[in-house]
Structure 1
C-alpha cells in the first residue's frame, strides 16, 4: 500500500462513490478503481462492499481509512520539515466561513494578524448545508461551520475546535405585541409568519421543535439564508425569525427575545483536517479565532442595556 491508495480509501469513506473521489482528486474513475484493487491485494480482508449501487467501506476499510489520517499527518509533518515550512510564522492560511460567522470573525482575525511576521489569511465565504462543511476542509486550512446544539457531531475525519455556543433568539419588530415579553414560548410564536433558511440548513430544525412543542405547524413565509437580509425583512414586517445573538450587528428596528421550551442554540466550530495543525501558521490562526470568540461574547456582556431591552445583535 502507498500514501495515494490510503488517501483514496479515506476519500471514498467520506464521499461515498468512486465517481465523487475521482472528481475530488481530478483523475478518472477507472484510475481510482485500479488503485483500490491494488490496495485490496495487499490486505487479506475485504475493504469495500456494494450496497445497492454504492461502494462503501467495510469495518476493516473504515479502520484502515482512520489509520490513513495518521499516515497523512506523519507524511505532512515530514514534508513540511524538509521544506522548512513547518514553523514558518507568516505562511498563508486559508479560512472559510458561513456568512454570519465571517461577518463576526473575519474583521477581528484580520486585525489580529496585521503586521509583519504574522500568518497571511486568505478568506472566503461558503454557505453550505451542515453536511457540506467537513468536505470543505479539503480546500481550506480552517472552516468555520455551524450545527445545532443537539445535532449529530462532526465526523471523525475532521478535528474540531468549538468557538461559540451561541443562542438563537426570536427577532421581531420593536413594535410587535410580543416585544413586551421578556421571553417567548413556542405557543407565543407558532402562529406567526416565519422567515427561515432553506432546506438542509440547521436553523430549520429549531422551527420543527417549535411546531412540535406548540402542537401545530408553523407558517413559513419566506426562505432567506443571509441573516442581514432576514433582519431587513423582519424590520419591514415580513414575519419573525430566529437570529443569532452574538454574531450579527444590532438592527435599530428589531428586538430579540429568548425562546423558552426548546433548545435553540448553535455551535460555531472551527473544522480542519488533523494534519493541517502541523503548520505553525494554522495553529496561530486557530488561537486568534479562539481569542476572537471571547471578544464576541465579552462584547455582548459589556452591553447591559441591550440585554435588558432585548436589543441584541441580529
Structure 2
C-alpha cells in the first residue's frame, strides 16, 4: 500500500462514491478504481463491497480509512520536518579541506560565520590523493580539493566550483644564489635537490613538467606533503620545492619565485553532491567560502575585499 491508495480509501469513506472521489481528486473514476484494486492486493480481507450501484467500505475498509488519517498526518509532519531542516539557517555544515586550504580558509570561515543565526561549521582536514576527493562528499557537505590547471575535470557525480586558480612558485632559502632572480626557468632549477609531495598528489605533475622542460631528471631528496614542514626544510637548505603562492603561510627565511616555461597553476575547488545545497545553511557556507577566496587573492593583489557572495549564494 502507498499514500495515494490510502487517501483514495479515506476519501471514499467520507464522500461515499467513486465518482465523488474522482471529482475531488481531479482524476477519472477508472483511476480511482485502479488504486482501490492495487490496495486490495496487499490486504487479506475485502475493503469494499457493492451497495446497489455504489461501492462502499466494509468494516475493514473503514478501519483502514481511519488509520489512513494517522498515516497522512504522520507524513505531513515528516514533510514539515524536512522543510524546516532545509530552510534552517543555522544548522551544522561539515567542511573538509586539504591541509594548505584548511590553513587559509578555515580561520576566515569561522570568523565570517561567527555569531548567532549563522551555520555552525564542522571542520575536518583530509590530505588525500586527487582521485579520492570526490568520495569525501559522501561524508561531508563541502569538500575543498586541489587539482592542476590542466588535469582532468572532476567526475560528473559531484558539483565542482573553483575558489582559486593559484600560482605555484619555486620556494628556496632567502640566501640562495637564485633568490635574487625575479623569475626562474626549469633550466635554472633542474640541477638543485628537490622536496616534493608523495606520488598521486597533483603537484607531482608539475615537478615532472619541470624535468621534461629541462630535459633532465630532478634529484628528489625528500617527500613531504605538509607545506609548513616543507618551508622549514627549504629554510634549512634541504632543497627547493613547489609551493602555492596564496594558501601557505610566509616563512621569514624562504622566498617564492614565479616559474616560467611550464604551466604552474592549481585549482582550489569546492566539491559537493548536488542535493547538499538544498539546505540554506550549506548555501550560506558556500558563499562564505567564495568571500574567503576573494580575501586570500586580495592579500597578493592588494585588491579590496569583496563584500558579496558568489552567484547562487543564499
TM-score by length of 2: 0.70
- Inter-CA distance 79–200: structure 2 relative to 1 (3 Å threshold): farther
Contact persistence 1:80–1:86 (CA under 8 A): no
Residue 209 (structure 2) pairs with residue 209 (structure 1): yes
Tell me: CA distance 1:106–1:83, structure 2 relative to 1, closer, same or farther (3 Å). same
CA distance in 2, matches of 1:87, 1:120: 14
Unpaired stretches in structure 2, ≥5 consecutive residues: 1-77, 304-314
Q: Tell me how far apart the structure 1 counterparts of residues 98 and 212 of structure 2 sit (CA, whole Å).
A: 28
- Give the drift of 1:302: 2.8
Give 1:80 shift.
7.8
Q: State the match for 2:130 in structure 1.
A: 130
SS in 1 for 2:207: helix
Deviates more, 1:173-182 or 1:120-129: 173-182
Match of residue 35 from structure 1: none
Partner of 2:293: 293
Between the aligned partners of 1:163 and 1:150, the Cα distance in structure 2 is: 16
Give the match for residue 120 of structure 1.
Answer: 120
Q: Secondary structure at the match of 2:87?
A: coil
Once the two structures are superposed, residues 165-198 of structure 1 have per-residue CA deviations (whole angstroms, 9 ceiling, x without a partner) of 0000000001111111110000000110000000
TM-score of the aligned structures, taking structure 1 as reference length: 0.70
Aligned-partner SS, 1:217: coil
Distance in 2, matches of 1:188 and 1:223, equals 21
Return the offset for 1:299.
1.3
CA distance in 2, matches of 1:79, 1:225: 46
Match of 1:105 in 2: 105
Q: Which residue of 2 aligns with 1:159?
A: 159
User: d(CA) in 2 for partners of 1:156 and 1:167?
Assistant: 26
Name the counterpart of 1:169.
169
CA distance in 1, matches of 2:173, 2:124: 32
Q: Conserved in 2, the CA contact under 8 Å of 1:158 and 1:272? A: yes
- Structure-2 residue corresponding to 1:253: 253
- CA shift, 1:81, in A, is 6.4
Partner of 1:185: 185
The CA deviation string for residues 68-92 of structure 1, in whole angstroms up to 9 with x for no partner, is: xxxxxxxxxx968635211100000
Cα RMSD, aligned residues only: 1.3
Q: Deviations over 1:241-283 (max 9, x none)?
A: 0000001111110111000000011000000000000000000
Query: Distance in 1 between the 2:247 and 2:215 partners?
Result: 31
Give unpaired runs (5+ residues) of structure 1.
1-77, 304-314
